[in-house]
Structure 1
């Protein structure tokens, strides 16, 4: 898989649209609000924006339950507003990606309402057996039996067939049955529709789950390979990003990049969680405890992440691996006991490591995960698992509602961070020592230095504290995310003449490197 030139060294920025910027004062962010903030994104230096779903929906799962794939939800604006956004973004060198929910619809979608009353309709997976495994929901219509859900009961699974037949489960259909064929054609229609409006591709939700009982993902991969072939002919500049977790499968299936996830993948998400996931904020009873490398106590290690990354990079190339700071489903970097002084080192790592970095809106100013919020549009998915804390309104300035909206405070999509010292874009833009300016400088350094992008090679010199590596043979990076300082004996040509490019608390001398607590350094080795 070869990425389009515009995406080859992308820096992504994820926007949760209902929480980013409200242009009409109704308390919910919208597309015109995103357009209003494009100058900020261009100033920051990102070139690719991924929007969470903005289609018509009853919003029982924050828009991941779609009732019309071909229309913008009125609360976000209109299709014309999306065209205005994509055009204005292109003029600033920014591409817009939409979120494609491929595996299920809302139970309010006309397809499902018809299927629930027509025993011959095969768009969804239905069974008439009285005893069924977990995950089946009784029919809400005149059709007898139950339907298979993907996540919530309100998200019936679209029928893309089963990879394996089972005589004990007669409802299973092959991937070339009428229902699966109709759904594959619908995916093509949906993508073609929005690509015609100027978007540049899609992040695909749960991309690996379409064909059921597909342990090797061979049939799911074949489905995406077929769609990728069509895209290459009809829209060759369009990209696909996968929520999958196995780059070896997804990239060979036609995706341009796969995300490192907090769950799933070959390590069950431990590789990502061992990096900077903070379990004190957002947890699942099924996740095993793992010490975090980017926590202050210094009990973690980058080794599991590095081993997992190395295997995937060897298989598909690091330019197809996407590393997020967080996202709408998981805790922000600034979570629990993690303080603002710990965040710059995390960004210094993310923006100098060979992957495609993805910044979740607000992480660049250190927005905090806010615990204890109400269940909002399906945000609660477990006793200690409320995703609302990562979805609060963007904090732009010190005006009313932090500049997010002119609506009354009780009309906002979610409450704001109530802390008096909550970070804002305006305050940090005025302070060149702020996290925001550091992130901007790191993005600019990465963009202007090919050796620091995904294509440059990496040589790990030390896999403890400080994590130290060489990029492109001439750029030295050291990351010390713990509270305690660290020193590293380092026999490296050119070290004594190293030129600091972006540093905070790291110094080099002949034969050694010294790192303060919560420090990072990027150096050019000019004498090599």
Structure 2
């Protein structure tokens, strides 16, 4: 094993025994792995991943060294938006298995010392949910319609996040709000029945043993009372030109009453159950409000995900995030990829300063795959060195890029349909992941079928091609996660150190971290002993461009 993959640590990389889950503020420094159930592992050959497939692959997560799993939705759904349109919050969609399979997965994870967080989708239901069907049947002015946002006339100019108008007219003439697809009508969170229903849903899954909830569109539940027009882009994360302007559909102060209520529910249960906010909110001070001591435990740091690959931009967002969360005593929750954004192995292969595309197609400018993976590995090592919690998205430990040449006819994201192909959407980051290079569907399932096509290049990125291979992205992740735990980096503290132009350098406990964004190799401090590096160091021990190194000093 080469020096740059931590030869100085003599603990075995492979886990040979189960671990008991930590119980003291485990979420403050946890590494949590997102599973997109459709695309993780298919047990029955229908081309769609499922809960038994996940259960069969849990040892992969133990070997990797993560602390917990976040499962994207597996509830009954018409699948208008890949399960984020829920028709029943208390069951499992048959394409993923049965409720009993969820119980078996929870038990198997617990045996391995893994916690499990499930997705909760409270901003909207499916249009096939019994409540919405009842609302359509009951007519204008009915109690059933009061659970949603119906109006007799189209009240404003709001646009859907997926493209097109955010209002759809029903046959009796009224209009309903859907900030996403028309099959996802927004709930009215001023209605006491809505609040009571979701308290009950929380308890249903807490009683089954889940360790928490990732809350979808956490910033969107409450709308500005006057439903005022909005003349800026509909993107939830406001840009510099919109600083201080809060969209009427996002980040209203009333959402915090909801989460204080939910926190009281979770605090009734033992074992430190947690709430995680998917809140595309800016600036950092607004995001920190979601993780005050009586609200949520974590909130994804999307400003960090969006930050440019420069030393100045990374320094600014890391510093601002830590300062803002520190004021409320909360950890910062770092993330680089998920099921909604271009994978960072592709995103970082675009020219610096490029606005993040909402999907890439075959006719679009293509990322540089070599540069993208090089920067992605460096970005991951930088992220894992920061104090706080970190989220990994399935397949990033294999260095997977987006499928940027997917045929348009294979795309299923409603964003692609609603924008008439102008935005390619999120399918490229949701492709079933490769486990075995020479197996059908690269080991995703027992058949060749996959609900989205896999790019041929993934054969070389399959797990079996990387496991045990020095320098592979998979082994880099395993070594980094082991070192992160051994040196307590997640629970540590950060201090910046001086470095040359284009270099970001910091100290976390006994580990010195340097990322070189500049064009020339950067020296390590005298006497520094490299622990791990995202790429080999130069022959003279300097750090090349787009490389992160951890060192003992």
TM-score tier by shorter-chain length is: 0.7 to 0.9
Equivalent residue number for residue 179 of structure 2:
150
Deviations 1:201-248 (A, max 9, x none): 110001111111175732110121112112212456210000113432
Determine which of 411, 434, 437 is the counterpart of 1:395. Answer: 434
The structure-2 alpha-carbon separation of the partners of 1:360 and 1:481, relative to structure 1 and needing over 3 Å to count, comes to farther
Equivalent residue number for residue 248 of structure 1:
288
Are the aligned partners of 2:413 and 2:425 in contact in 1 as well (CA < 8 Å)?
A: no
1:347 matched to 2:367: no
Higher strand share: 1
Determine which of 202, 213, 220 is the counterpart of 1:202. Answer: 213
Q: How far 1:457 moved relative to its partner? A: 3.2
Are the aligned partners of 1:128 and 1:146 in contact in 2 as well (CA < 8 Å)?
A: yes
Q: Distance in 2 between matches of 1:394 and 1:183?
A: 37
The structure-2 alpha-carbon separation of the partners of 1:62 and 1:130, relative to structure 1 and needing over 3 Å to count, comes to closer
The structure-2 alpha-carbon separation of the partners of 1:131 and 1:41, relative to structure 1 and needing over 3 Å to count, comes to closer
Equivalent residue number for residue 88 of structure 1:
108
Equivalent residue number for residue 67 of structure 2:
47
The structure-2 alpha-carbon separation of the partners of 1:93 and 1:131, relative to structure 1 and needing over 3 Å to count, comes to closer
Q: Distance in 2 between matches of 1:208 and 1:356?
A: 20
The structure-2 alpha-carbon separation of the partners of 1:78 and 1:160, relative to structure 1 and needing over 3 Å to count, comes to same
State the number of aligned residues: 461
Unmatched 5+ stretches in structure 1: 162-179, 262-268, 276-291
Q: How far 1:318 moved relative to its partner? A: 5.8
Structure scoring higher RCO (CA < 8 A, sep ≥ 6) equals: 2
Q: Distance in 2 between matches of 1:181 and 1:463?
A: 57
In the TM superposition, 1:33-112 aligns within 5 A as: 33-112=53-132
Equivalent residue number for residue 32 of structure 2:
12
Secondary structure of 1:517 counterpart: coil
Q: How far 1:442 moved relative to its partner? A: 0.6
The structure-2 alpha-carbon separation of the partners of 1:130 and 1:91, relative to structure 1 and needing over 3 Å to count, comes to closer
Secondary structure of 1:334 counterpart: helix
Equivalent residue number for residue 486 of structure 2:
448
Structure-1-length-normalised TM-score = 0.82
Are the aligned partners of 2:40 and 2:54 in contact in 1 as well (CA < 8 Å)?
A: yes
Equivalent residue number for residue 428 of structure 1:
466
1:386 matched to 2:416: no
Deviations 1:78-110 (A, max 9, x none): 111111111111111111111100110011111
- What root-mean-square deviation, in Å, do the aligned CA atoms of Structure 1 and Structure 2 show? 2.4
Q: How far 1:308 moved relative to its partner? A: 3.0
Structure-2-length-normalised TM-score = 0.78
Q: How far 1:137 moved relative to its partner? A: 3.3
Q: Distance in 1 between matches of 2:52 and 2:118?
A: 15
Q: Distance in 2 between matches of 1:352 and 1:463?
A: 20
The structure-2 alpha-carbon separation of the partners of 1:82 and 1:369, relative to structure 1 and needing over 3 Å to count, comes to same
Q: How far 1:476 moved relative to its partner? A: 0.7
Q: Distance in 1 between matches of 2:207 and 2:330?
A: 30
Deviations 1:349-398 (A, max 9, x none): 11101231111100111111112433214252641342100001111011
Secondary structure of 2:192 counterpart: helix
Determine which of 347, 353, 370 is the counterpart of 2:403. Answer: 370
Unmatched 5+ stretches in structure 2: 1-22, 159-164, 226-245, 347-366
